[in-house]
Structure 1
Amino acid sequence: MDAHRKPPKLMDRVKATMRVKRYSPRTEKTYCYWIRYFIRFHGTQHPASMGASEVHAFLEHLAVERHVAAATQNQALNALVFLYRHILEQPLGDIGEFSRAKRPRRLPVALSHEEVMRVIGFLSGYMHLMGTLMYGSGLRLIETCRLRVRDIDIERQVITVRAGKGNKDRTTLLPATCILTLRQQIATAEQQLSCRLQHGSVPVTLPDALDRKYPNAGTSLAWQWLFPASRPCCDDAGKVVLHHIHPSAVQKAVKQAMKSARLPRPGSCHTLRHSFATQLLSQGTDIRTVQELLGHKSLETTQIYTHVLGKGFAGVRSPLG
């Protein structure tokens, strides 16, 4: 080993550790952002020379000066706890009381079935199928983008969500009305794979180190993205690969569809998932089942939809009926 080799830079260590611990790319990007922001806030001091008091001041700044949301402040705190515990190996301990960003209690926007169908009617191509799955299966946007051929079980009418929020797998409903379109989408994925094999064999991106364990997985039909990007890109190692469609493209299409549908209130891709939950509950589906289908860790998160339906008042009715 070269005795004069420089130790890896701090941010390189952060990234390497997060990949070993299998954090998602989005979490890696977010944590790196907050760690860099923290360092700049304190005049580019190295975090090893700082500690709990500097973290306290930074979190106070985010709440008081920047007026960030509670979730954003918690995100920054989690990033710094990770840095000090796993990279610097000097846990922060008690950072004291600091101003907490207020967490507003807002009910999610949910649409009626008729409104959702109107929105989906303004989507075309595979965007129509993606919108249908977010509503018909309760998928998050990123979960829809990451679907692979292997995740679709048409015979059992089940969709498997791999490494969803919290890095957990779950299964959810596959709407019968989507079966024909899904078969067509899988056939398209097979045709595109065949074409790529004939012109250079570009593999799809794979989770963790799967490409080393199974070298041919990236060019097998089972691992193909159901909704691939329009063109290949380079991964971190400089290898040409095919990624899934970027979520922003879907967000743009759904936003335009909602605008065209002339809805009385604004919505987003997540509104389709909210609408899935409220429709199931209004039909009398057990709330625990809805919790499992949505992949919520806590039942409290699912219970908010009972308030959207106006069923959080223990059966009390207005004097006007």
Structure 2
Amino acid sequence: MTKSPFIESIRNILRVKRYSLQTEKAYLYWIRKLIFFHNKRHPRDMTESDVELFLTHLAINERVSPLTQNQALCAVVFMYRHVFGRELNNMKFHFAKTPQRIPQVLTHNEAAKVIQNLHGKHKLIASIMYGSGLRVSEVLRLRIKDLDFERNTVFVYQSKGQKDRVTLLPNNIKDQLNSQIELVRHIHERDLHDGFGLTSLPASLISKYKNAAKNFYWQYLFPSTTRCKHPHDDYICRHHLHQTAFRKALKVATKKADISKRVTSHTFRHSFATRMLETGHDIRVVQELLGHDDIKTTQIYTHVIGKNKFGAISPIDSIN
């Protein structure tokens, strides 16, 4: 398949600016989609109205979510700003709208049942999500150095919005974590013996850290089962596990636990927030642990806990 020089030029800019691989793939996807929507016209020949038409099409015809439409907008804005050196001004397009939904959460007992039906590393991944409020992508990107057993904290590096934060390290899973760390140590020693041992690092950082990338504490807590070629810098490394295997295991565990709710990886993060509020933790503390910029994002969980929000009691509950 012939690579487009134009698309490759955007890819290079994204890598120079150290955008994540996930963002790179998403931005290039939307830029290609814009080009094909306008019958392969070059973006330099497009105007604001052409971009508006594309974004409106996504909202009305493809019925994408507001987040998806915004991602497409960010991709196009990035292209015009950093490739063509111009801004998109006075944009007027149809915004995608969806009703605000209260997130699906598990009760404390339901979360425990699902976790108990998971095994090995999948059980530990779910335990960290429910115990620390992490997204599944954040758990899989954890490195050995991010765990502080003395302070009982987990360091989350450049999560959503390129923000760092610190959250809780549960006492309950320390033994499981230590076992996982020893497993990682064994894998790393074997890689070193075979002449490898480099971990996967963001684009261009490998030249900065050099042999430090072989340090055990830089290794992923959940390393992949095989070594691979780094997608940016072409060196042989060991990346982290992919989300797919965990999702399959979670689906089986939910069925075994006889939970009728729709349970995804993100359900554990929602359930963490709800449980923290139910047990009396200040909403500002929960906001900090989740890494929310706006308290309004965290406040949605107060709707989930229902009567506990105001200490309200249903009238029928007072009937003997």
Q: Which category describes the TM-score, using the shorter chain as reference length?
A: over 0.9
Who is 1:108 aligned against?
103
Who is 1:299 aligned against?
295
C-alpha distance in 1 between matches for 2:314 and 2:182 = 54
Q: In the alignment, which of 122, 128, 139 is matched to residue 123 of structure 2?
A: 128
Residues 1:62 and 2:73 are matched in the alignment:
no
> What letter corresponds to residue 98 of structure 2 in structure 1?
R
| Equivalent position SS for 2:316 | coil
Cα-to-partner distance string for 1:13-34 (whole Å, 9 max, x where unaligned): 2112222222221111111000
Shift, 1:247, TM fit? 1.4
Who is 1:201 aligned against?
196
Residues 1:71 and 2:87 are matched in the alignment:
no
C-alpha distance in 2 between matches for 1:173 and 1:315 = 27
Shift, 1:264, TM fit? 2.4
Q: Give the 5 Å matches for 1:221-260.
A: 221-236=216-231, 237-260=233-256
* Structure with the largest fraction of helix: 2
Shift, 1:12, TM fit? 1.6
C-alpha distance in 2 between matches for 1:23 and 1:213 = 17
Cα-to-partner distance string for 1:89-148 (whole Å, 9 max, x where unaligned): 12111122x222112211111111111111011111111111100000111000000010
| Equivalent position SS for 1:201 | coil
> What letter corresponds to residue 143 of structure 1 in structure 2?
E
TM-score (norm 2): 0.94
TM-score (norm 1): 0.93
- CA 1:269–1:217 in structure 2 vs 1: closer, same or farther (change >3 Å)? same
Shift, 1:67, TM fit? 1.4
Sequence identity, in percent? 45
Structure 2: which 5+ runs fail to align? none
Q: In the alignment, which of 32, 38, 44 is matched to residue 34 of structure 2?
A: 38
- CA 1:304–1:46 in structure 2 vs 1: closer, same or farther (change >3 Å)? same
Q: In the alignment, which of 4, 10, 13 is matched to residue 14 of structure 1?
A: 10
> What letter corresponds to residue 26 of structure 2 in structure 1?
T
Structure 1: which 5+ runs fail to align? 1-7
| Equivalent position SS for 1:163 | coil
Over the aligned positions, Cα root-mean-square deviation in angstroms equals: 1.6
Shift, 1:49, TM fit? 0.4
Divergent runs of 4+, >4 A: 311-317
C-alpha distance in 1 between matches for 2:212 and 2:119 = 31
Aligned residues between the structures: 313
Cα-to-partner distance string for 1:183-242 (whole Å, 9 max, x where unaligned): 111111111111111112241111343321221122111101110111011123332211
Q: Give the 5 Å matches for 1:126-165.
A: 126-165=121-160
